[in-house]
A and B are shown apart, each in its own frame.
Chain A
Amino acid sequence: MSAPQPREATYALEGRYDAQRSAELDEHLRALYEAGASTIVLDLARVTYVSSSSLRVLLLAHRRAVAAGGSIVLANTPSRVLSLLRMAGLDRVFGIRST
């Protein structure tokens, strides 16, 4: 018997993710995880801003995903957000996809 394949879900974020919206992001990511998605691809193409609160939510989600054999993957990351990830060394934590 082969090991079960990690289930992948895609979720598109849009707009500004400051501390007010980080709780909403956390709820969405937890719901996807509880629905069985171990790998979650976040499409950031339409994201204008990500605060440290939301990055913490992503880190916690990534820890959960890794424990379940998956990961958090960031797709279409805007250059300013990518710069922040690099600044904090988080580009080496999350999977980064260009498309």
Chain B
Amino acid sequence: MKSIKMLVCTFALAAAFGAALASPASAGPREDIIAGFMAEGAGPGNAANGAAMYTKNYASGKPDTPKCTTCHGATPQQSGQTRTGKAIDPMAVSRAPARFTDKKKVDKWFRRNCKSVIGRECTAQEKVDWIVYLSSL
């Protein structure tokens, strides 16, 4: 019974958040991905925290990649470059609308890049903050 209550609660939260974010448009793949992370325990996204992540010098992961902007653009609206010189599309959804719409891709890159930069997997909350920030620009 308790688990059903929790489930209902999670769905209600996710639905409320999705509505707040996408209102009045209907939920899309990005909202589904966010709802998935909320089901893993994250609260509503905090864009300011996401912005802080984008520029923070973590230096706790691999030495060659101390921060997100080692490879991503100096601002999310700018293109970045991999360490081998390949262009990376901007992270801002307004500049690259396909961002955060493919769950497999999102999981793959959070896993790799959080480990490379921070030295651990990102929390569900960090993932939601990140996506909400980059969707807000």
Are A and B bound to each other?
no
Binding site for A on B (CB under 8 A): none
Binding site for B on A (CB under 8 A): none
